[in-house]
Chains A and B, each alone.
Chain A
Amino acid sequence: MLSQRTGGLGGAASPGLTLRLCTLCFRVSQGTQGGRLPSSAMSPPANVGRAPGPPDGGWGWVVVVGAFISIGFAYAFPKGIAIFFKEIQDFFGTSYGEIAWVSSITLATTYGAGPISSILVNRYGSRPVVIFGGLLCGIGMVSAAFCTSILQLYICVGFITGFGLALNLQPSVIIIGKYFLKRRPIANGLAMAGSPVMLCTLAPLNQFLFDNFGWRGSFLILGAILLNCCVAGALFRPIRAAPASVKPQVTEEGKDALKKEVTEEAIEMSSPTNVPMENKMEEEGEKDCCEKINQYLDFSLFKHRGFLIYLIGNVLMFLGFFAPIVFLAPYAKHIGIDEYSAAFLLSILAIVDMIARPTTGIIANSKWVRPRIQYFFSFSIAFNGTCHLLCPLASGYTGLVVYSIFFGLAFGMVCAMLFETLMDLVGAARFTSAVGLVTIAECCTILLGPPIGGTLIDTFGDYKYMFIKCGAVMVLAGTFLFIMNYYNYRMLAKEEKERKAKEEDLKSVRTENEGRNNWNKETAQDGPELEPLREEQEGLKKEVNGTNEL
Chain B
Amino acid sequence: MEKNITLDSATIIELSCRLDNKYSHLKNLQVTWKRGNETIRHIDKTENSWSIQLKILDSSKLGSYSCILKGEEEISAIFYLQVPKIEGKEKPIVSYEGDSAVMICKSFGYTPIAWTWYKINGSEQIAINDSLLADKYVINSVSANVTHLKILKLAKEDDGVYWCEAAFELGRSKGSLKLKVLSLMVPLKPFLAIVAEVVILVTIVFLYEMYSKKKEKCAEDEKEFDQVEQLKSEESNGLENSSARNRKI
Contact = CB atoms under 8 A, between A and B. Distances in A.
Q: Do they bind each other?
A: yes
B242 A26 contact: yes
A231 B201 contact: yes
Contact of A231 (B91, B102, B202): B202
A217 B187 contact: yes
Contacts of B234: 2-3, 22, 25
A39 to B, nearest CB: 5
B114 interface: no
Interface in A18-73: 19, 22-23, 25-26, 29, 36, 39
Contacts of B205: 231, 234-235
B186 A213 contact: yes
A227 B194 contact: yes
Given A1-B227, A1-B231, A213-B187, A22 B238 contact: yes
B242 A23 contact: yes
Nearest to B241: A22
A90 B104 contact: yes
Contact of B202 (A213, A223, A230): A230
Interface string B212-247: 000000000000100110110011001101100100
A136 B52 CA distance: 71
Contacts of B235: 25-26, 29
A471 to B, nearest CB: 37
B99 interface: yes
A231 B148 CA distance: 44
Interface string A203-247: 000000011111011101101110110110011010000000000
Nearest to A18: B238
Nearest to B94: A214
B231 A26 contact: no
Given A23-B238, A228-B198, A36 B228 contact: yes
B227 A224 contact: no
Nearest to A39: B227
B36 to A, nearest CB: 36
Contacts of A486: none
Q: Interface on chain B toward A: helix, strand, loop, or mixed SS?
A: helix
B198 A216 contact: no
Contacts of A213: 94, 182, 186-187
A320 to B, nearest CB: 36
Interface residues of A, number: 35
Interface residues of B, number: 38
A93 interface: yes
Contacts, number: 98
Contacts of A3: 227, 230-231, 234
Given A90-B102, A227-B195, A217 B242 contact: no
A225 B191 CA distance: 8
Q: Interface on chain A toward B: helix, strand, loop, or mixed SS?
A: helix
A216 B231 contact: no
Given A1-B227, A23-B238, A231-B202, A221 B95 contact: no
A218 B228 CA distance: 63
B209 A237 contact: yes
A39 B242 contact: no
B209 A223 contact: no
A302 interface: no
Contacts of A96: none
Given A214-B94, A217-B187, A22 B242 contact: yes
Nearest to B245: A19
Contact of A214 (B182, B190, B241): B182
A124 interface: no
B168 to A, nearest CB: 24
A23 B231 CA distance: 13
A214 B238 CA distance: 83
Contacts of B191: 220-221, 223-224
Interface in A497-525: none
Given A19-B242, A22-B242, A214-B93, A224 B231 contact: no
Contacts of B101: 91
A102 to B, nearest CB: 18
* In the complex, the 3 A-B pairs of residues with the closest C-beta atoms, listed nearest first: A214-B94, A217-B187, A22-B238
30 contacts: A1-B230, A2-B230, A2-B234, A22-B234, A22-B238, A22-B241, A23-B242, A25-B234, A26-B238, A39-B228, A90-B102, A93-B102, A93-B142, A93-B148, A210-B94, A211-B94, A213-B182, A214-B95, A214-B96, A214-B182, A216-B99, A220-B187, A220-B188, A220-B191, A221-B194, A225-B194, A227-B194, A228-B198, A230-B198, A231-B201
